[in-house]
């Protein structure tokens, strides 16, 4: 940090990122040089085949060339390891060393071509060991050259050539940030970044139809992604360092912080809810939420028997028996739902696996055990679902009887509207309640399905006042404060551990970026040491490293920009202004969004790190949305989001009973956020 400037452009790699890649190549080159030297020493004076002179010359020049490459790599690794992340001064010679190393690729390429020619034309009559060694050298040369080319593509920054040259001292000292020239430069850079991200999305989703809805989604997502780190000069390794430092900082604060007060009952009522009954209902509904994923999740959850159980049901003639099922040509999805839920075919009213952007699969069934008409909505399982997830703009969602501003996540609001129209306009719910008029309506889903289920419940609330919704691991950036408060009467959000998704919102991500910048700017150790120690900590645990914390430096120092002079947005960044104090507002064009309903938080009871064979004990408690206003960095932040992990925790709490219904004050890790 900042991104390295070489060959007249900025690259997505910093001058201190060459330690690991250079060390790996150095290790390979040294082994190669030793092997070549051994071959030359053993066969010296014995090159008596027809191409012996050529072979002798090839090995000598290869040894000399490898020696120069090894020396250049040693210099690169040594210099790249100097200084700190925000002090690139000791590494100012890195671009020159990179130029020298790049120049050595030319003779290496030529010599690899000559070696290939010798092997094909002049190697007849030579010893097989000599020929094999040269072939290995030639193959190694081409592998390293191709690997270097691939690496260059990875660190290539399409926006690097757009960066202006270093400003003069006068410009750095007094620069009018509000001038038309500066505004035009900023606008141009952002528009270019948006186009670059749109192109990347189109390339990634090339298999999807390029219709108007997809193009609009690409544009919206590109604007969201391109603007997030546009005011920083962070490279990916800087972000990794910031996350590693932040994780250890959070763990240190969690160990020394006094237990926070937890909610002993549902925040929607002064009377304590029966937590055990809610857990029983949640565990039951989670079976339907996980069944909505179809056969991939069923096989994943049952790796030994899942495929065998479904093999007899898939690909058979469906005829009129499965006329309620749409979008499931082979019948595998519906068969897995039957196995997962234990229901019969006659219990299903409607099943749809139709999947487009803003249109996600769902099914409607009669749950006789709980006397409910149950609507289960699938979570993210395709590129189209991912586009729906990433369409995170705010969209108005007016609801009668709700005071305050009503808006929600655009992608999930559109998906909820699609299912709402299908349920009412196609008479699906009318058919279900004609069969079972005394049943109540229950809506459930996981992740994308959980967010969509919550918004669908809000839309249906006026028509079905007694409906209930169980949203598992819903996204944090889902609905406005007014809608979140309104939904507390009928929506329960279930969150496991340090799940990342319920903490995902644009303000939270802006806050995470600001804290990453703080951690990186405060650290006075080389990047490679932080990454090595961070990896060790993530894999094997131990005590958090005693790195400088964000309180170890004066606040006025934190108000200084973190970027080099070459960066586009060296001044005027909202992120840097926000470093001035903890009370500074987070500058964000997106409106704040919240988790739906009441929040039932499940955490592991006991130490955060445990043996792989130890029994897991869980604790459940009602929590507040304030506990999810910061992203918690943890190895389990993704694993805790998986539907099978949520189902396993609920089953453990409702069947095995190794959990606390009345949480103690010893382990409130979900509230211990920085």
423-449 pLDDT tens trace: 999 899 999 999 999 999 999 999 999
Give CA angle at 596 (591, 600), nearest 5°. 135
Mean pLDDT of 377-403: 88
- Under DSSP, the state recorded for 126 is S
Single out the catalytic residue among 16, 499, 511, 640: 499
* pLDDT tens digits for range 310-343: 776 665 544 445 556 665 655 788 888 988 888 8
Give pLDDT, residue 546: 64
Residues 6+ apart with CB under 8 A from 465: none
Tokens representing residue 207 in the block: 């298999």
Task: Decide if 489 is catalytic.
Answer: no
* pLDDT tens digits for range 472-482: 999 998 999 99
CA distances from 649 to 2, 147, 386, 622 (A): 44, 44, 26, 16
Residue reference for tokens 């937890």:
262
Single out the catalytic residue among 141, 340, 413, 447: 447
Mean pLDDT of 85-97: 89
- In percent, the amount of the chain with pLDDT more than 90 equals 32
More confident call, 158 vs 87? 87
Tokens representing residue 269 in the block: 């009522």
Q: Is the pLDDT of residue 281 over 70?
A: yes
**In 231-294, which residue ranges form alpha helices assigned H by DSSP?**
236-256, 275-291
First to last CA, the chain: 24
Give pLDDT, residue 596: 94
Say which CATH topology domain 278-505+595-607+615-656 has: Rossmann fold (3.40.50)
Mean pLDDT of 236-244: 87
Tokens representing residue 607 in the block: 């130490």
Give pLDDT, residue 67: 94
* pLDDT tens digits for range 610-667: 555 567 788 899 998 888 988 888 888 899 999 999 999 999 888 755 444 444 333 3
- Residue pair 63/32 in contact (Cβ under 8 Å)? The answer is no
What does pLDDT average to over the chain? 78
- Model pTM score: 0.78
Give pLDDT, residue 442: 96
Q: Is the pLDDT of residue 294 over 50?
A: yes
**In 292-331, which residue ranges form alpha helices assigned H by DSSP?**
295-301, 306-311
Element (H, E) at 409: strand 407-409
| Domain ranges (residues) in the chain | 5-155, 278-505+595-607+615-656
Task: Decide if 499 is catalytic.
Answer: yes
Residues 6+ apart with CB under 8 A from 257: 672
Give pLDDT, residue 306: 73
CA distances from 326 to 208, 353, 428 (A): 20, 6, 14
């Amino acid at each position: 940090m900042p991104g390295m400037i070489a060959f007249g452009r900025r690259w997505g790699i910093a001058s201190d990122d060459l330690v690991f890649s250079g060390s790996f190549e150095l290790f390979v080159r040294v082994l190669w040089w030793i092997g070549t030297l051994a071959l030359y020493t053993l066969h010296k004076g014995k090159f008596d085949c027809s191409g012996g002179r050529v072979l002798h010359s090839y090995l000598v020049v290869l040894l000399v060339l490898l020696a120069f490459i090894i020396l250049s790599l040693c210099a690169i690794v040594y210099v790249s390891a100097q200084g700190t992340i925000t002090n690139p001064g000791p590494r100012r010679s890195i671009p020159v060393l990179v130029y020298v190393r790049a120049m050595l690729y030319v003779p290496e390429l030529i010599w690899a071509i000559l070696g290939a020619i010798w092997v094909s034309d002049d190697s007849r009559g030579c010893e097989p060991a000599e020929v094999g060694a040269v072939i290995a050298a030639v193959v190694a040369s081409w592998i390293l050259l191709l690997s270097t080319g691939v690496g260059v593509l990875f660190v290539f920054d399409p926006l690097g050539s757009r960066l202006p040259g270093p400003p003069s001292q006068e410009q750095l000292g007094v620069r009018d940030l509000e001038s038309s020239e500066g505004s035009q430069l900023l606008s141009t850079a952002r528009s270019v970044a948006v186009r670059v991200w749109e192109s990347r999305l189109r390339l990634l989703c090339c298999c999807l139809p390029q219709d108007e809805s997809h193009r609009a989604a690409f544009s919206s997502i590109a604007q969201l992604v391109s603007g997030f780190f546009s005011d920083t000069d962070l490279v990916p390794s800087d972000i990794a360092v910031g996350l590693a430092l932040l994780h250890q900082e959070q763990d240190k604060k969690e160990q020394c912080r006094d237990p926070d007060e937890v909610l002993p009952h549902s925040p929607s009522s002064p009377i304590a809810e029966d937590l055990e009954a809610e857990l029983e209902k949640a565990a039951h509904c989670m079976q339907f939420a996980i069944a909505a994923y179809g056969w991939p999740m069923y096989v994943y959850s049952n790796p030994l028997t899942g495929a065998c159980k479904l093999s007899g049901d898939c690909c058979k003639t469906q005829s009129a028996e499965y006329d309620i099922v749409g979008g499931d040509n082979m019948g595998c999805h519906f068969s897995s739902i039957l196995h997962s839920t234990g229901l019969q075919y006659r219990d299903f009213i409607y099943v749809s696996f139709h999947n487009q952007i803003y249109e996600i699969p769902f099914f409607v069934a009669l749950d006789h055990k709980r006397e409910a008409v149950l609507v289960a909505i699938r979570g993210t399982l395709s590129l189209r679902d991912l586009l729906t997830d990433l369409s995170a703009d705010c969209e108005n969602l007016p609801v009668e009887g709700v005071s305050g501003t009503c808006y929600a996540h655009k992608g999930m609001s559109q998906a909820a509207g699609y299912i709402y129209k299908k349920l009412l306009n196609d008479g699906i719910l009318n058919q279900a309640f004609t069969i079972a008029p005394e049943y109540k309506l229950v809506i459930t889903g996981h992740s994308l399905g959980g967010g969509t289920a919550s918004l669908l419940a809000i839309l249906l609330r006026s028509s079905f006042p007694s409906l209930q919704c169980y949203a598992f691991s819903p996204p944090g950036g889902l609905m406005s404060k007014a809608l979140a408060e309104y939904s507390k009467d009928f929506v329960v959000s279930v969150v496991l551990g340090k799940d990342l998704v319920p903490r995902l919102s644009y303000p939270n991500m802006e806050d995470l970026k600001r804290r990453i910048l703080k951690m990186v700017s405060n650290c006075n150790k080389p990047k490679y040491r932080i990454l090595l120690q961070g990896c060790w900590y993530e894999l094997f645990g131990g005590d958090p490293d005693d790195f400088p914390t964000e309180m170890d430096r004066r606040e006025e120092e934190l108000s200084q920009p973190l970027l080099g002079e070459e960066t586009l947005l060296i001044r005027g960044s909202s992120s840097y202004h926000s470093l001035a104090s903890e009370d500074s507002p987070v500058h964000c064009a997106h409106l704040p969004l919240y988790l739906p309903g009441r929040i039932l938080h499940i955490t592991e009871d006991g130490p955060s790190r445990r043996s792989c064979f130890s029994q897991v004990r869980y604790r459940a408690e009602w929590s507040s949305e304030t506990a999810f206003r910061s992203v918690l960095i943890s190895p389990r932040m993704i694993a805790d989001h998986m539907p099978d992990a949520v189902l396993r925790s609920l089953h453990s709490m409702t069947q095995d009973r190794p959990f606390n219904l009345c949480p103690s004050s010893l382990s409130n890790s979900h509230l211990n956020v920085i």
